[in-house]
Amino acid sequence: MKIRFTSHAQYRIEERGISILRITSTLRTPGKKRLAYENKLTKQKQFGGKILEVVYIKNKNYFIVITAYYL
């Protein structure tokens, strides 16, 4: 599975201190997934007491991460 990040996602991930490993884990083995808005999807996974949500678009060859944040 290939993952690409928008410039917005890169900025927010760094700003929020979210590890790429956690984003990859959330995309591979989510606890929940749902349709967000327009053609965007979300996946969620719990890490300790926090829930990470990753917003992405799925292409047939890769995921494009739009943003990620803790709920």
- The structural domains of the chain, with segments of one domain joined by +, span 2-70
Class of the domain covering 2-70: alpha beta
Q: CA distances (Å), 71 to each of 22, 43, 49, 51, in order?
A: 14, 12, 10, 5
pLDDT-based confidence at residue 1 (cuts at 50, 70, 90): confident
Q: Could you read off the pLDDT of 18-64 as tens digits, one per residue?
A: 999 999 999 999 999 999 888 899 999 999 999 999 999 998 899 99
Q: What is the pLDDT of residue 38?
A: 87
